[in-house]
């Protein structure tokens, strides 16, 4: 009996060490453990805009802009809080001359486990919304009826 218990414990430990990690888990966006994808949206796991469309009601990527919907893609970043989303947008607006006028980042709202909307203003208080994904990707989005 002790051998069976030891064998079970060793098996569990071994599977824990070599089992599915975040990067291989198809239910996680870009392997980020805090960014679980809803089952109905798994087909979009590698499409930041398709996933946004699927996970946020009545919103979609705004690909009608000259630069397209995806403004910035980063690697090795995980965004889990509103403060982190704000920091990503602040850095982006400082580095990109066409968006420097929106350097006055006001606030962020967590939409779900994967996306944050970050609100920034220019000097005339005209607002622009940047959507930040859990992997640091910045996209332009729209919402409506």
Tell me: pLDDT of 11 over 60: no
Torsion angles phi and psi, residue 2, rounded to 5: -60, -35
| pLDDT on residue 144 | 84
Tell me: pLDDT of 57 over 70: yes
| 45-54, long-range: CB < 8 A, 24+ apart | 48/133, 48/135, 48/137, 48/139, 49/139, 51/114, 52/114, 52/115, 52/131, 52/133, 52/139, 52/141
Alpha-carbon separation of residue 81 from 101, 117, 132 (angstroms): 24, 11, 11
> Which two tokens mark 132?
């930040």
Average pLDDT over residues 93-105: 93
| Total-model pTM | 0.81
Q: List pLDDT tens digits, range 62-83.
A: 888 777 899 999 888 999 999 9
- pLDDT confidence bin for 145, thresholds 50/70/90: low
Q: Residue 110 and residue 112: Cα distance in Å, rounded?
A: 6
| pLDDT on residue 19 | 42
Average pLDDT over residues 94-105: 93
**Cross-strand partners of 129:** 119
Domain ranges of the chain: 2-143
- Residues of the chain with pLDDT > 90: what percent? 70
């Amino acid at each position: 009996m002790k051998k069976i218990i030891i064998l079970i414990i060793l098996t569990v430990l071994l599977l824990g060490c070599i089992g599915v990690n975040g990067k291989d888990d198809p239910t996680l966006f870009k392997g980020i453990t805090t960014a679980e994808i809803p089952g109905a949206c798994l087909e979009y796991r590698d499409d930041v805009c398709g996933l946004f469309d699927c996970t946020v009601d009545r919103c979609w990527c705004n690909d009608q802009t000259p630069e397209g919907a995806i403004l910035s893609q980063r690697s090795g970043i995980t965004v889990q809080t509103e403060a982190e989303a704000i920091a990503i947008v602040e850095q982006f607006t400082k580095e990109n001359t066409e968006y420097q006028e929106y350097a006055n980042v006001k606030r962020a709202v967590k939409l779900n486990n994967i996306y944050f909307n970050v609100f920034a203003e220019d000097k005339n208080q005209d607002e622009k919304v940047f959507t930040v994904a859990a992997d640091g990707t910045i996209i332009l989005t729209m919402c409506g009826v």
